């Protein structure tokens, strides 16, 4: 079994945001890590995507709403529609507008506590007026997630904001300490601060790491592998970052790790985190 923790399908609002609309930017990521985007991504075909999922042994993709992002939105109701139209193939996470935490609490209740979505995603560095993940204005929202045992996925790594300070692992460490009952996921793995985030995770057990595309052929890959083979084997997640990378990258990810931890990294960790 394989769960791809970061798979944005060619469906609904996804087609109108940068990952599909800006093809040059999408090619930039793939080219720089020596991979090629898949036919389904280039042709924006759900039918081809489902074929590629089957061919590469990916049983389920985690699709994330996007609200408040400066490059476009994917409404949470479209994620719910995706799950209904392709039952069993996708699990959804709710996009939350980090500029409006009060509305974020209401939305989290609507689609997570009282709805089918399994967690929330915040991308505060990508707002028109960027915020850091440890911005005090987000604390009431994190507290509500803690109250309802909702996992929080944060875009923190890569181009998470206007400069590299938006990927600083110390900011994630701070909120993980302040909300010890929340499971936080570092989407993009805090790259390029790989050793820093992995050092923090050695002590802070409520932080998960999903390096996604920054796992492949970039500085820090060996460090992710060492951690995943040992103390991070219960808290590292596979994510392809499709449509930026082809789903076939799952094979390189699998083969990078010891056989006895592969099932955790590819399936069991994500399933437990999302309550599947």
The closest of 83, 78, 122, 128 to 103, measured between CA atoms, is 122
Helix (H, G, I), strand (E, B) or coil at 125: helix
pLDDT at position 24, please? 83
For range 119-125, the mean pLDDT: 95
pLDDT tens-digit map of 218-269: 999 999 999 999 999 999 999 999 999 999 999 999 999 999 999 999 999 9
pLDDT at position 94, please? 97
CB 156 within 8 A of CB 171: yes
pLDDT tens-digit map of 130-143: 999 999 999 999 99
Whether 95 has a pLDDT exceeding 90, the answer reads yes
pLDDT at position 165, please? 96
* Strand runs labelled E in the chain: 3-4, 60-64, 90-96, 120-122, 152-155, 184-187, 207-210
pLDDT at position 71, please? 75
Whether 167 has a pLDDT exceeding 80, the answer reads yes
CB 274 within 8 A of CB 210: no
More confident call, 178 vs 34 = 178
CB 179 within 8 A of CB 146: yes
pLDDT tens-digit map of 180-215: 999 999 999 999 999 999 999 999 999 999 999 999
pLDDT tens-digit map of 2-19: 999 999 999 988 988 878
Give me the residues paired with residue 66 across strands: 74
Phi then psi for residue 125, to 5 deg, are -70, -15
pLDDT at position 23, please? 82
pLDDT tens-digit map of 38-82: 999 999 999 999 999 999 999 999 999 988 777 778 999 999 999
Q: 21 pLDDT band (50/70/90 cuts)?
A: confident
The closest of 220, 192, 230, 224 to 209, measured between CA atoms, is 224
- pTM score: 0.95
Distance CA 276, CA 267 (A): 10
Percentage of the chain surpassing pLDDT 90? 86
Could you give all domains of the chain from N- to C-terminal order, each with its CATH number?
3-274 (3.20.20.140)
């Amino acid at each position: 079994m394989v769960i791809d923790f970061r798979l944005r399908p060619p469906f609904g609002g996804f087609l109108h945001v940068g990952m599909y609309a800006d093809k040059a930017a999408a090619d930039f990521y793939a080219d720089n890590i020596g991979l090629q985007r898949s036919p389904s991504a280039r042709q924006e075909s759900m039918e081809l995507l489902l074929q590629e999922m089957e061919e590469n042994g990916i049983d389920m993709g985690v699709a994330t709403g996007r609200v408040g992002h400066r490059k476009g939105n994917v409404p949470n109701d479209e994620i719910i529609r995706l799950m209904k139209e392709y039952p069993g193939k996708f699990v959804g996470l709710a996009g939350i507008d980090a500029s409006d935490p009060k509305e974020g609490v209401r939305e989290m209740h609507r689609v997570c506590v009282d709805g089918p979505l399994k967690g929330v995603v915040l991308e505060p560095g990508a707002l028109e007026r960027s915020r850091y993940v440890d911005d005090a204005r987000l604390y009431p929202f994190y507290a509500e997630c803690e109250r309802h045992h909702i996992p929080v996925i944060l875009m923190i790594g890569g181009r998470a904001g206007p400069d590299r300070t938006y990927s600083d692992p110390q900011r994630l460490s701070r909120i993980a300490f302040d909300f010890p009952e929340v499971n936080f996921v570092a989407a993009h793995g805090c790259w390029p601060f790989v050793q820093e985030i992995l050092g923090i995770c050695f002590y802070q057990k409520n932080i998960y790491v999903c390096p996604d595309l920054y796992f492949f052929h970039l500085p820090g890959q060996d460090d992710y592998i060492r951690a995943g083979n040992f103390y991070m084997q219960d808290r590292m997640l596979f994510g392809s970052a499709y449509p930026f990378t082809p789903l076939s990258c799952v094979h390189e990810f699998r083969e990078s790790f010891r056989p006895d931890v592969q099932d955790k990294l590819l399936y069991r960790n994500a399933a437990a985190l999302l309550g599947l």
